[in-house]
Amino acid sequence: MILILGGTAEARELAAALVAAGIEVTSSLAGRVANPRLPEGAVRIGGFGGPVGLAEWLRENDVSCVVDATHPFAERITENAATACTRAGLPLLALSRPGWSERPGDRWFWADDLAAAADAIPGLGSRVLLTTGRQGLAAFAGLGHTWLLIRCVDPPEPPLPAQHKLLLDRGPYTLEGELKLIDAHGIDLIVTKDSGGEHTIAKLDAARERGLPVLIVRRPARPSVAGVATVAEALDWARAHAG
pLDDT tens by residue, 160-181: 999 999 999 998 999 999 999 9
Is there a single domain that holds both residue 92 and residue 142?
Answer: no
Is there a single domain that holds both residue 88 and residue 190?
Answer: no
Specify the CATH number for the domain of residue 153: 3.40.50.720
Q: Whole-angstrom Cα distance, residue 90 to residue 63?
A: 8
Q: How many domains does the chain have?
A: 2
| Domain residue limits at 185 | 107-217
Is there a single domain that holds both residue 125 and residue 192?
Answer: yes
Is there a single domain that holds both residue 74 and residue 127?
Answer: no
Q: 45-92: per-residue pLDDT in tens?
A: 999 999 999 999 999 999 999 999 999 998 899 999 999 999 999 999
Is there a single domain that holds both residue 57 and residue 114?
Answer: no
Is there a single domain that holds both residue 62 and residue 114?
Answer: no
What pTM was estimated for this model as a whole? 0.90
Is there a single domain that holds both residue 148 and residue 93?
Answer: no
Is there a single domain that holds both residue 89 and residue 121?
Answer: no
